[in-house]
Amino acid sequence: MSNRILKRLAGAVAALAVLVGAAEAATAPILLVDAETGKVIYGQAATDPWYPASITKLMTAYVALDLVRQGRASLDTLVTISPAAAAEPPSKMGFRPGTQLTLDNALKIIMVKSANDVSWAIGESLGGSVEGFADMMNETSRRIGMHESRWYNPNGLPDARQWTSARDMAVLARALMRDFPQNRDLFAIPAIQFGKAVMANHNGLLGRYAGADGMKTGFICSGGFNVVASATRNGRRIIAVVMGQPSARERDLKTADLFDYAFTQSPGWTSQSLDALPASASAAPPDMRPFICGGRKAPAIDEGPGAIAGNGAEGAIAQFMGQTAAASPAAALAAFSTAAVRNRALPPRAPLQPVAVWIGRSPAEGQTLLAEQENAAKTAAAEARAAKLEAAKAKREAAKEARAAKLAQAKERAAEARANAPAKPAAKPASLAAKAAPKAAARKPQSGIPQSATAYTSTAAEAPVIPAAKAKPAHKAAAKPAPKPAQQAKAASKPAKAKADE
């Protein structure tokens, strides 16, 4: 068995142990409510604190619409993207700092695209600052009857201090329906179109579940996959809040099952109201990051892929996600059974009918601004390419100059080395020349050249002194025998013969 397999098994066992231990203390919040009466059809862990993620944007929308209702803002109020807003992480529109859009378009964008940069800009523009807008969110929550919610930002990005509950979100959903009926379509937009781009709503029930008409999804690793959804059938509207699910697909399927169950139920006069639900014993939300994302990086948007498939701990996660006994078999199937939804899927989404959004005050101004931004982007790209080419040319020139300088330095060092080297002797020492002279004299002349021809051709001052040839002794010269008379006569006759020949 390879080390990799052993590590995987060890990780699965560790996750299983942690999950089994955590399951006794945490249950995924689920709540079904009749929208008109506020009666609870089914609930579990409904008041437990939970991290809301992007369903926070429902609270942002309520505060913004409430300011419009009070006359303190209008749907034409311009929202400005600040550098801080532009720096928020995805999901976002990616607008440049200084970009302005109407509050109406901003609300449509955050409900469909779940854009964190636009939500942040709404908070800054309407509240003076994000902190000021969070104060307005908290004051509004208390006023409409939300008990467990604590707000610190308008987009739902991770903040350990920002909590809510399934009950509070159901209260908020009912308040939006009751107080702003004219804005009901805001929460049911299937898609938006900005320029040429079409962006579908993250709510996977819209256009796929019959009667689904809102509202908002959300995801962070610490809270799992959440949704506040509404559906209408035969004139009756149900609100479903499902939180802490391990994937968007599983969340959508379970919510659809819960709707199917709710539409078969009629809460009686003994059914609990939202206000009557008992308070939670939990002091803080559970952190689901180890169970949802593990060691992986969080998805870039609030509709990331499911995280439990194939990790070896599906049973433990299912136990973690629902420990309380369900009130009926149908609700139990919808709320707890991961296996029941594994091989199922909702029908394909109906053809999208996007709603146009734009920057600026009007579509015409938006087109102009968008064209200007596109041209500016093209110009910036061209300038960047030119700068890159210029930088590459400068780099090549610098390298060429460096090589030339290096070569010049090498030549200079070589010249200095030659100048500083000790001079070589011009001639051999006299003692060596004296020793060499007898040997040179003893050599035979080459090719008939006299010995004297091999002498140095240097100046007299530089020429070595050659010893004179020794004269023969007189006694040796005298001892040479005189020629004989016959020889003398023969020698004397040679000239005469020569003359006779002439």
Residues 6+ apart with CB under 8 A from 138: 149, 150, 151
Give whole-number Cα distances, 468 to 362, 441, 471, in Å: 124, 11, 9
According to the annotation, is 472 in a ligand binding site? no
- Per the document, the length of the chain is 502
Over range 365-391, report the average pLDDT: 92
Residue predicted with more confidence, 489 or 224? 224
- How much is the pLDDT for 454? 44
- How much is the pLDDT for 142? 97
Give whole-number Cα distances, 400 to 282, 364, 389, 395, 407, in Å: 71, 54, 17, 9, 11
Mean pLDDT taken over the chain: 81
Q: What pLDDT band is residue 263 in, cutting at 50, 70 and 90?
A: very high
Exposed, middle or buried, 396 (CB in 10 Å: 0-12/13-18/19+)?
Answer: exposed
- Three-state DSSP class for residue 375: helix
Q: Are 452 and 462 in contact (CB under 8 A)?
A: no
- How much is the pLDDT for 63? 98
Prediction pTM value: 0.71
Q: What pLDDT band is residue 319 in, cutting at 50, 70 and 90?
A: very low
Catalytic residue check, 91: no
- How much is the pLDDT for 298? 60
Percent of the chain, pLDDT > 70? Answer: 70
pLDDT at 8 over 50: no
Catalytic residue (one of 108, 113, 114, 222) = 114
pLDDT at 39 over 50: yes
Catalytic residue check, 280: no
Catalytic residue (one of 39, 54, 91, 149) = 54
- How much is the pLDDT for 423? 73
Nearest to 456 by CA among 472, 471, 443, 437: 437
Over range 81-105, report the average pLDDT: 96
Over range 289-305, report the average pLDDT: 66
pLDDT digits (tens, 9 = 90+) for 188-217: 999 999 999 999 999 999 999 999 999 999
Residue where the block lists tokens 């009666």: 39
Catalytic residue (one of 57, 108, 113, 254) = 57
- How much is the pLDDT for 266? 86
Report for 61-70, 264-273, 277-286: range of highest mean pLDDT: 61-70
Catalytic residue check, 119: no
- How much is the pLDDT for 316? 41
Q: What pLDDT band is residue 117 in, cutting at 50, 70 and 90?
A: very high
- How much is the pLDDT for 305? 38
Two structure tokens written together for 494: 């040679």
pLDDT at 496 over 70: no
- How much is the pLDDT for 337? 57
Rounded Cα distance between 161 and 149, Å, is 10
- How much is the pLDDT for 22? 43
